[in-house]
Chain A
Amino acid sequence: MSATSAEPLPRDTEHRSRTDARHDLFFRMLLRFCALLVLAALLGAALSTLWGGREVLFTDGFHFLLSSDWNPVENQFGALAPIVGTLVTSLIALILAVPVSFGIALFLTEIAPSWMRGPVSSAIELLAGIPSIIYGMWGLFVFVPFMAAIEPTLNDTLGNIPVIGALFQGPPLGLGLLTAGIVLAVMILPFISSVMREVFQTVPARLKESSYALGSTTWEVVWNIVLPYTRSAVIGGIFLGLGRALGETMAVTFVLGNSYNITASLLMPGTSISSSIANEFNEAVGLHRSALIALGFLLFVVTFIVLLIARLMLRQLARKEGR
């Protein structure tokens, strides 16, 4: 070695560069290991719940998904009621939260005077910081009585409309799918509106100004220019909110009423995947516990797919920007 190089390196320098290389390799491996732990967490969550729920999923998978009969005493486990409850409450949440979030994003990017934008958007984002257990308590002690007070009116008005009327007929319990859906809507509102606000700001001023110059109103600019330009990211933001709503536990557990009956009315109590797990897990043994873990696996797979779509949609806009 030393014979070939013109000026041999001093011994300690050579030694040092070799230790440096070794340390670098070690450091790099350590970092990569930590990054892989993130993947392991997701994969582990999927595999462990699959394993924990194997007794139910692999022996009677289809029956588990399609049966509405949930009876721990007789070891009958059909997940239809929690699945329907999760989907219905999340759907209500989306129907309510999407237009409101859009309105907030529109207000904060196009209408509000600039001194107002910072404080108002921070306030809306504070909603995302409130722990979900607080939503649950507020929901149970304040919002449920409020809903019980207005539900007779819902019965008399919306309940009389043909076709969708059946959704709004029922006893004024306050608890139920509609209440849970509204609480969820408030929870996911800040997530959807902050994504919308951020992507609305990425629309090039050129495009908007051209449209204004042609005589468009503010609404026409937003509807014809801003929304089409940001469409994929807006859908991504909505799916992000949906992912949140599907997996939320504490806010809905108190206000759903924990009932395994599937009814047409949104005013009746129901259950959801996450609230079934939270309510029953610590009392469950054997097959019951396995069924609840299997429910967790289902929830994980569904939210994973929804969040995957959300992130892919959000990435499209980033690419468009050339980031």
Chain B
Amino acid sequence: MSAIYARRSATNIIALVLSGFATLIGLIFLVWILWITAENGLAALKPTLFTKITAYADQGGLANAIAGSLIMDLMALLICAPIGVLAGTYLAEYASSTRLGASVRFLNDILLSAPSIVLGLFVYVIIVLPTTELTNGRITFSGFAGSVALALIGLPVIVRTTDEMLQLVPGTLREAALSLGIPQWKLTVQVLIRAAFSGILTGVLLALARLAGETAPLLFTAFGNNFMTLHPLDKMASMPVTIYQYTNDPNPALHAIAWAGALLITLFVLALSLLTRIMFSRKKVSYE
């Protein structure tokens, strides 16, 4: 009898120790990656990163890549935020129990983890190829195409958060507004979206955090550019693509610049996700 007990308790202890060990493995990789990025990035940080463009290669900086990324991220948000909020509103307010609503919600979850490189190919086929043909090769890859690809990454995040946040708004608010004779569109825009505003904003920031680090969809949509451009129909440089190109280069001086860029982008993305986490936790408190 006691042999069975001993074996069971030994199994238990081994399993529990192993699970602690698994958690440790996860944390070690996190610290390892962040440490390497911080160490190499901090060593390479210098003011010329923000003032010089990539055309000077190892004597240059990342100014055009930073500008390109900011422009494309912003344009992507301008495209996906309105569409995403409206689509999420449709799911929560108009189609919460219809078959169309259920399938859109289901497929939106799939889009959420669809391979980003395929979304890049999609935009290449529907935007880059046609503009190349229509303009006889004058407009080929463009910042605009890059933004559309990034918008496809951000869209499902915003749809989902908006949908969930609107479902948290108490039903009494809807009933109170409707009983005053407010048309439904006014109820939605002026009462519900306003009530869920901070949650919806969180979704937009979450989308920004996701699309700001994306490389694959930009490779064959925005392409890259060694010079500064602010025109959305030019080929446009971006931080992730520049980091990708510099990492592929044999020149170690370019690796250093890539690490500095990697640090900037990691800080940006992690700061955003930290911010959304804080907003989220406050959100939950206010509803409970």
Instruction: Give 1 or 0 for each of A281-323: 1 = CB within 8 Å of chain B CB.
Output: 1100000000001001101100110011001000000000000
Quick one: given A129-B270, A131-B240, A138-B33, are A107 and B118 in contact (CB under 8 Å)?
A: no
- Complex interface: chain A residues within 8 A of B287 (CB): none
- Complex interface: chain B residues within 8 A of A27 (CB): 184-185, 188
Measured CB to CB, the nearest residue on chain A to B152 is A41
Is B209 in the interface zone, CB < 8 Å from A?
Answer: yes
- Complex interface: chain B residues within 8 A of A232 (CB): none
Q: How far is the CA of A189 from the CA of B115 in the complex (A)?
A: 17
Is A267 in the interface zone, CB < 8 Å from B?
Answer: no
Q: How far is the CA of A103 from the CA of B185 in the complex (A)?
A: 48
Flag if B107 contacts A217 (CB, 8 Å): no
Flag if A308 contacts B247 (CB, 8 Å): no
Measured CB to CB, the nearest residue on chain A to B281 is A118
Flag if A133 contacts B94 (CB, 8 Å): no
Q: How far is the CA of A111 from the CA of B124 in the complex (A)?
A: 49
Flag if A39 contacts B104 (CB, 8 Å): yes
Is B155 in the interface zone, CB < 8 Å from A?
Answer: yes
Count, chain B residues at interface, CB 8 A: 89
Interface residues of chain B: helix, strand, loop or mixed (majority): helix
Flag if B269 contacts A123 (CB, 8 Å): no
Q: Which of B42-50, B53-61, B194-202, B215-223 is the contact stretch?
A: B215-223
Q: How far is the CA of A32 from the CA of B18 in the complex (A)?
A: 50
- Complex interface: chain B residues within 8 A of A37 (CB): 83, 87, 155
Number of A-B residue pairs, CB cutoff 8 Å, is 267
Is B226 in the interface zone, CB < 8 Å from A?
Answer: no
Flag if B37 contacts A134 (CB, 8 Å): yes
- Complex interface: chain B residues within 8 A of A126 (CB): 30, 270, 273
Quick one: given A23-B183, A111-B20, A137-B259, are A282 and B110 in contact (CB under 8 Å)?
A: no
- Complex interface: chain B residues within 8 A of A142 (CB): 32, 36
Chain A 143-199 interface residues, beta-carbon cutoff 8 Å to B: 186, 189-190, 193
Quick one: given A31-B94, A49-B121, A131-B269, are A107 and B19 in contact (CB under 8 Å)?
A: yes
Is A266 in the interface zone, CB < 8 Å from B?
Answer: no
Is A225 in the interface zone, CB < 8 Å from B?
Answer: no
Measured CB to CB, the nearest residue on chain A to B270 is A129
Pick from B87, B121, B212, B265: contact of A34, CB below 8 A.
Answer: B87
Q: How far is the CA of A102 from the CA of B23 in the complex (A)?
A: 9
Quick one: given A38-B156, A307-B113, are A120 and B184 in contact (CB under 8 Å)?
A: no
Pick from B34, B118, B214: contact of A49, CB below 8 A.
Answer: B118
Chain B 24-39 interface residues, beta-carbon cutoff 8 Å to A: 25-27, 29-30, 32-34, 36-37
Q: Knowing that A219-B11, A220-B12 touch, tell me 15 more A-B residue pairs with CB under 8 angstroms.
A: A21-B183, A34-B83, A38-B104, A45-B114, A49-B125, A103-B19, A107-B20, A123-B27, A129-B270, A130-B266, A131-B214, A133-B213, A220-B8, A278-B216, A296-B118
Task: Give 25 A-B contacts (CB < 8 Å), ordered by A residue.
Answer: A31-B86, A35-B87, A35-B101, A38-B104, A41-B111, A41-B119, A42-B111, A42-B114, A52-B124, A102-B22, A107-B19, A107-B22, A122-B277, A129-B270, A133-B215, A133-B262, A138-B33, A186-B29, A219-B12, A220-B8, A247-B116, A249-B216, A274-B216, A282-B223, A296-B117
- By a beta-carbon cutoff of 8 Å, the part of chain B in contact with chain A is 8-9, 11-12, 15-16, 18-23, 25-27, 29-30, 32-34, 36-37, 40, 82-84, 86-87, 89-91, 93-95, 100-101, 103-104, 106-111, 113-119, 121-122, 124-126, 129, 152, 155-156, 159, 183-185, 188, 209, 212-216, 219-220, 223, 240, 243-244, 247-248, 255, 258-259, 262, 265-266, 269-270, 273, 277
